[in-house]
Structure 1
Amino acid sequence: MEITAPDPGLIVPYEGVDVSDPLLYQHCQHAMWRTMRDKAPVSRHRMPSGDGFWGFSRYAECERIVKDHRVFGSEEGTILASVGVGDSAGGQTITLMDPPKHGDIRRPTMKALSHSVVRRRAPGIRRRVRELVEPCLEGGVHDFAKLMRRLPMVVIGDLMGIPDRYWDTIAYYTTASIAPDDPEYACGATTRETLRRAHHELFTCFTEIIDAKRAEPGEDLITALLTLETDGAPLEDFRVALNCYSFLLGANSTTAHVASHTLLALAQRPHLWDAALADPRSTELLIEEGARWTSPTNHLVRRVREDTEFAGVTLAKGDWVCAWVASANRDESVFADPYSFDPGRSPNPHLSFGAGPHYCIGAPSSRMALGALFQEIGTALAGAEPAGEPSHLHSNWINGLTSMPMTFHPRAERSSR
Structure 2
Amino acid sequence: MRIDAGEPTPVPLDAIELFDPGAYLRGSQHGAWHTLRHHAPVRKEHTPWGTPYWSFTSYADCTKIIKDTASFSSEDGVILASVGKGDSAGGRTITLMDPPDHATLRQPAMRHLRQAVVRQNAEHIRASTRELIAPLLAGGEHDVARLMRGLPMAAAGRLMGFPQRYWETVAFNTTASVAPEDPEYAVGRSVEDTLRRVHHKLFAAFSEIVQERRRDPGDDLVSGLLAVRIDGRPMDDQQLLMNCYSFALGANSTTPHVASHLFHTLATQPKVWDAVLEDPELAGNLVDEGARWVSPTHHLVRRASRDVTVGDTEVAAGDWVCVWVASANRDERVFPHPYTFDLHREPNPHLGFGVGPHFCIGAPASRVALTTVFEELARRRIRFAPTAEPTHLYSNWINGLTRLPMTFTAGR
In 2, the alpha carbon distance for the partners of 1:36 and 1:182 equals: 28
Q: How far did 1:16 drift?
A: 6.8
1:71-124: CA deviation from partner (whole Å, max 9, x where unpaired): 111111111011001111000011111110100110111011011211111112
Amino acid at match of 1:88: S
* TM-score between the two structures when normalised by the length of structure 2: 0.97
Q: Secondary structure at the match of 1:125?
A: helix
Amino acid at match of 1:352: G
Q: Secondary structure at the match of 1:260?
A: helix
Amino acid at match of 1:21: D
Q: How far did 1:288 drift?
A: 0.6
Query: Residue in 1 aligned with 2:248?
Result: 248
Structure 1 residues 30 and 107, CA gap change in structure 2 (3 angstroms): same
Structure 1 residues 297 and 71, CA gap change in structure 2 (3 angstroms): same
Equivalenced residue count is: 411
1:30-78: CA deviation from partner (whole Å, max 9, x where unpaired): 0000000011000111101100100000000001111110111111111
Query: Residue in 2 aligned with 1:323?
Result: 323
Query: Residue in 2 aligned with 1:333?
Result: 333
In 2, the alpha carbon distance for the partners of 1:278 and 1:213 equals: 45
Q: Secondary structure at the match of 1:61?
A: helix
Query: Residue in 1 aligned with 2:45?
Result: 45
Amino acid at match of 1:368: V
Deviates more, 1:300-309 or 1:117-126: 117-126
Q: How far did 1:264 drift?
A: 1.4
Amino acid at match of 1:97: M
In 1, the alpha carbon distance for the partners of 2:84 and 2:325 equals: 21
Amino acid at match of 2:185: Y
Question: Is the CA contact (8 Å cut-off) linking 1:304 and 1:319 kept in structure 2?
Answer: yes
Structure 1 residues 41 and 50, CA gap change in structure 2 (3 angstroms): same
Q: Secondary structure at the match of 1:342?
A: coil
Q: Which runs of 5+ in 2 are unaligned?
A: none
Deviates more, 1:320-329 or 1:19-28: 19-28
In 1, the alpha carbon distance for the partners of 2:61 and 2:22 equals: 26
1:168 to 2:168 alignment: yes
Query: Residue in 2 aligned with 1:292?
Result: 292
Question: Is the CA contact (8 Å cut-off) linking 1:270 and 1:383 kept in structure 2?
Answer: no
Query: Residue in 1 aligned with 2:22?
Result: 23
Q: How does 1:10-409 map to 2 (within 5 A)?
A: 10-15=9-14, 17-26=16-25, 27-279=27-279, 281-409=281-409
Question: Is the CA contact (8 Å cut-off) linking 1:180 and 1:191 kept in structure 2?
Answer: yes
1:202-256: CA deviation from partner (whole Å, max 9, x where unpaired): 0000111101110110110000000111111111121111111111111001000
Question: Is the CA contact (8 Å cut-off) linking 2:6 and 2:340 kept in structure 1?
Answer: no
Q: How far did 1:15 drift?
A: 3.9
Q: How far did 1:280 drift?
A: 6.0
Q: Secondary structure at the match of 1:118?
A: helix
In 2, the alpha carbon distance for the partners of 1:98 and 1:279 equals: 43
Q: How far did 1:166 drift?
A: 0.7
CA RMSD of the aligned region, Å?
1.3
In 1, the alpha carbon distance for the partners of 2:205 and 2:14 equals: 43
Amino acid at match of 1:315: V
In 2, the alpha carbon distance for the partners of 1:288 and 1:127 equals: 21
Amino acid at match of 2:201: E
Question: Is the CA contact (8 Å cut-off) linking 1:42 and 1:311 kept in structure 2?
Answer: no
Q: How far did 1:381 drift?
A: 3.0
Q: How far did 1:278 drift?
A: 4.6
1:301-335: CA deviation from partner (whole Å, max 9, x where unpaired): 10001012222121110000011000000001111
In 2, the alpha carbon distance for the partners of 1:185 and 1:226 equals: 31
Q: Secondary structure at the match of 2:301?
A: strand
Question: Is the CA contact (8 Å cut-off) linking 2:332 and 2:338 kept in structure 1?
Answer: yes
Q: How far did 1:14 drift?
A: 4.3
In 2, the alpha carbon distance for the partners of 1:346 and 1:411 equals: 30
In 2, the alpha carbon distance for the partners of 1:212 and 1:333 equals: 50
Q: Secondary structure at the match of 2:55?
A: strand
Q: How far did 1:19 drift?
A: 2.1
In 1, the alpha carbon distance for the partners of 2:276 and 2:13 equals: 36
Deviates more, 1:120-129 or 1:78-87: 120-129
In 1, the alpha carbon distance for the partners of 2:197 and 2:370 equals: 30
In 2, the alpha carbon distance for the partners of 1:141 and 1:57 equals: 39
In 2, the alpha carbon distance for the partners of 1:269 and 1:6 equals: 12
1:144-176: CA deviation from partner (whole Å, max 9, x where unpaired): 111000010112211111111111011010000
1:354-376: CA deviation from partner (whole Å, max 9, x where unpaired): 11111111111110110111111
Structure 1 residues 279 and 247, CA gap change in structure 2 (3 angstroms): farther
In 2, the alpha carbon distance for the partners of 1:75 and 1:256 equals: 26
Question: Is the CA contact (8 Å cut-off) linking 2:277 and 2:381 kept in structure 1?
Answer: no
In 2, the alpha carbon distance for the partners of 1:277 and 1:225 equals: 42
In 1, the alpha carbon distance for the partners of 2:392 and 2:35 equals: 23
Question: Is the CA contact (8 Å cut-off) linking 1:18 and 1:48 kept in structure 2?
Answer: no
Amino acid at match of 1:95: T
